[in-house]
Structure 1
Amino acid sequence: MTSPHAPALKQVVPAPPELKRVGRFTILRELGRGAIGVVYLAQDPIIDRQIALKTFNPKLSQIERKKHEEQLINEARAAGRLSHPHIITIYDANTEGGLTYIAMEYLQGRELSRLLAREHPFELNDIATIIWKVADALDYAHRNDVVHRDIKPANIFMVGENQPKIVDFGIARSPNRVADQFAQTNDAPYTLFHNNILGTPTYMSPEQACGEPADARSDIYALGAVMYEMLAGRKPFQSRDTEKLLQMIALKTPPAPHEVNPEVPEALSLIVMKAMQKRPEKRYQHAHEMANDIKRYLVKGRRPQKPKPEMEEDDGAGEASRPALKRFAWLAGLLALAGGAAVLGSRFLP
């Protein structure tokens, strides 16, 4: 008989079995792990090549897996319809033995975010070339009706000699994605809050910051924000307070990159500021327009047309800023109800 004063024994939870095989793929080793997902290096025995296999963390319960399964399937459907040298290639996706997985191109390199965090130096022409290639990839995706909606340095993987690959299409909008009917009726909650999948809002467009649907021009804004960070050495907007950060994105205009870093050519700075215009109709309307301006800079050093200053960035005091303030007030209230920054939580992988 156990004494009532004896210390309670901790319940021992057995460790999940180590995966040896998923579908037809043989697991070789783990490449990365997050709270929700794991990426393994695996071997495809049929084609005899190594692939990256993305699936769920074995520690997740069946209920938790079901909750996040939509995001994984959406990633496979969105990226799987694309074939471009600067977009990760999806080879296969399936559910077998209760486990959903994606088999994709095995990339050897580093996320752009890690390189920037280590203050990895990029030459100005290298920055222009990288962004040009990403813009070209986005233009291809947009022409195939796929909007990424989460372009940021963590989702640009650098391989070889400054060769970028767009990855992580988990919240992309595409014609064949899961929950299309919901997205067409009210996209804003899905974009910001569905399954806590968006992460940091630093690279969100003003319309996303105001809780409005994101289209291809939101991807262009986000790419402009990435280019800004690479040129200026800092993010266009920074704040630990999520609501304040969203307000800055919605209403403020950052100093141009060449004003922060005098070594930046004004021609490149103008491209960034046009991509980051507050109003979508004043940005590049298609990613190939941004790519063409960068290409002209690289080839001839020609300057793009300087965008006209906007009236919507005057600290909220001007008449023209009222629509943006009204839109932002809606989002601020939603953030407060949802617990603020907590709803902008974990990604599928870190």
Structure 2
Amino acid sequence: MSQARPTEAGGSIDARENPGTDSTFTVQPGGAPEDAEAGTRTTLLSARQAGTEGPSPGSLPEVDPSRYSITGELARGGIGRILRARDLRLDRPVAIKEMLAPARGTEPRFVAEALVTARLQHPAIVPVYEAGRWPGGEPFYSMKLVSGRSLADVISERKTLKERLALLPHVLAVAEAMAYAHSERIIHRDLKPANVLVGNFGETVVIDWGLAKDLSRDHGAESSEAPPPAAPAVDGGLTRVGTVMGTPAYMPPEQAEGQPVDERADVYALGAILYHLLAGTRPYEGKTSEQVLQRVVGGPPPPLSERQKHIPEDLLAIVTKAMARAPPGATPPRASWRRICGASRRDRSSGPTTTPGWSCCAASSGATGPR
């Protein structure tokens, strides 16, 4: 059984100093850190800068810290931490995510994460209650305190296919959340089981929107804030041409190559999450994140049917279509999640689906492709 401790938070932070969690770090070619969980941590490969976008960090109002009673620290990283707190005005528990040492390269990303997450109002997306900065200038935001565990931890405990199939509703909930986000022209760009919280009371919550992108602000070119410091713990820009941002084991090849991405990147990641659930292992493995990136670019993962026997045909078809690759220079052929699910039902040669409830994704989960 996994010994991972329960998660109680509404988001995640850089965790270089907490190696038991997925974290964001900088990887330079030839210098990727050795890691037993290579490919599961959010990765940035720095490249050239191009333009700027995003909210002004100075737009957040100053907040009196006496409004909150801090009761403990849930997680800490190189530049930030998540605190357990109580909102004294409304008398309710909250999670507070704050920066410890604001920097030119990291603060704009943090503020963008807070504001993008606050825009998204969906049962499977953690709600933001307040965003501001403390009197000392450090930005923070408060959000719902979700008690539970990551989907990655839950999957690791389920040793049989039958046990893991019971987790399908959580993947459906993620697909529904992404359908909503895509309708708002927001893409996540870092979907993975570690960024999905499974609550103690049945909740499924997509967290960590730190790499999210508002496509309505994209005018045809990837853009960024100032380049990150030489050795930051988190991604220091917004989006840069040629920059690899995301988690290697779950990102599509075009994202691994540093190309601009759209909603199809999230569709691929949903397929990769489903692959992990069905196989009991990540689509790609490697000793370093850079090695995983090379494998993602080099070709598709091992066929699911070879890693796990007796997977229902409709689920195999969904994963294959969601993770479809394009020939060099061509557009990825992935359709919307709804179309993929609908096609898998039409393609079945006989009988009803062997996974009751999953086929409803064709009607209820419409994570979209590009418009």
What's the TM-score, normalizing by structure 2? 0.65
Q: What displacement does 1:302 show?
A: 6.7
Is 2:69–2:87's contact at 8 Å kept on the other side of the alignment? yes
Residue number among 207, 218, 221 corresponding to 1:167 in the alignment: 207
The amino acid across from 1:275 in the alignment is: A
**TM alignment of 1:60-209, pairs within 5 A:** 60=101, 64-97=102-135, 98-118=137-157, 123-160=163-200, 162-174=202-214, 185-187=221-223, 194-195=235-236, 198=245, 200-209=247-256
Larger displacement relative to structure 2 (42-51 or 286-295):
286-295
Runs of 4+ deviating beyond 6 Å: 188-193, 293-296, 300-305
Q: What displacement does 1:26 show?
A: 1.7
Larger displacement relative to structure 2 (128-137 or 113-122):
113-122
Q: Does 1:47 align with 2:90?
A: yes
Q: Secondary structure of 1:185's match?
A: coil
Q: What displacement does 1:237 show?
A: 1.2
Is 1:189–1:211's contact at 8 Å kept on the other side of the alignment? no
Q: Secondary structure of 2:98's match?
A: strand
The equivalent residue for 2:270 is: 223
Distance 1:104 1:301, change over 3 A: closer
Deviations 1:95-131 (A, max 9, x none): 1311210111100001122334455767344232211
The equivalent residue for 1:278 is: 325
Q: Secondary structure of 1:282's match?
A: coil
Q: Secondary structure of 2:293's match?
A: helix
Q: What displacement does 1:132 show?
A: 1.2
Q: What displacement does 1:94 show?
A: 0.6
Distance 2:66 2:343 in 1: 45
Distance 2:119 2:277 in 1: 30
Q: Does 1:287 align with 2:337?
A: yes
Distance 1:81 1:191, change over 3 A: farther
Q: Secondary structure of 1:51's match?
A: strand
Please tell me whether Structure 1 or Structure 2 has the larger radius of gyration of its CA atoms.
1
Residue number among 261, 270, 281 corresponding to 1:214 in the alignment: 261
The equivalent residue for 1:32 is: 75
Q: What displacement does 1:65 show?
A: 3.8
Deviations 1:278-300 (A, max 9, x none): 136422x2233356679994447
Distance 1:190 1:116, change over 3 A: farther
Distance 1:113 1:22, change over 3 A: farther
- Report how many residues are paired: 275
Residue number among 308, 313, 320 corresponding to 1:261 in the alignment: 308
The amino acid across from 2:259 in the alignment is: E
Deviations 1:152-184 (A, max 9, x none): 1111111135532100111100268xxx67x85
User: Which consecutive residues of structure 1, in runs of 5 or more, have no partner in the other structure?
Assistant: 1-20, 306-350
Q: Secondary structure of 2:146's match?
A: coil
The equivalent residue for 1:232 is: 279
Distance 1:132 1:219 in 2: 13
Distance 1:126 1:116 in 2: 10
Is 2:117–2:126's contact at 8 Å kept on the other side of the alignment? yes
- The answer to which structure has the higher helix fraction is 1
Root-mean-square deviation (CA), in Å?
3.4
What's the TM-score, normalizing by structure 1? 0.69
Distance 1:132 1:108, change over 3 A: same
- Percent of aligned pairs with the same amino acid: 31
